[in-house]
Amino acid sequence: MNQASHAHGNATPAIRVRVSGYAYLVKYDNGISNGTHVVRKDRTCNCTAGAECQAVQEVQAYLRAGGERAPEIPPGFWPYVPEKCPVCGAACEAAPHYDRSKSGKGWRCIAEAGHYFLARLRSGRAGVQP
């Protein structure tokens, strides 16, 4: 959490944020922060830093400054493997054999494989629920 301030010097790194699909692309043009990070709407980054990634902070700042928001993800559609199971909160892993154009990325709850189907079932009925 407190890793936000180890930037060297005062130079503001060239950072660009833009919407791409249901996520944000954060691009560092200074060459030191290994290129492009993809920050998802659940505030995790696709890099190994995950939710701790500096790019997640960049997206927050971008949105606070009035940046364009990524579109809401339709219920029952997963543009990427969720960080946590929407049913029980356990970790998820990719399940490419469940990839579908209608439901997006397939995933599997490591605690209970049936949760993927439960989540799909619930979302099918819960289009207007939060």
Positions of E strands within the chain: 15-20, 23-28, 36-40, 92-94, 107-109
Count of residues that bind Zn ion according to CB under 5 A? 14
* Cβ neighbours of 97 (radius 10 Å): 8
Q: Which stretch binds Zn ion (CB under 5 A): 13-21, 57-65, 68-76, 86-94?
A: 86-94
| Residue with Cβ nearer Zn ion (59 or 73) | 59
If one asks whether residue 120 binds Zn ion (CB under 5 A), the answer comes out as no
Q: Which of 23, 24, 33, 37 binds Zn ion (CB under 5 A)?
A: 37
If one asks whether residue 92 binds Zn ion (CB under 5 A), the answer comes out as no
Cα-only R_g, the chain: 17
Q: Which of 4, 7, 51, 88 binds Zn ion (CB under 5 A)?
A: 88
User: Do 101 and 80 contact (CB within 8 A), yes or no?
Assistant: no
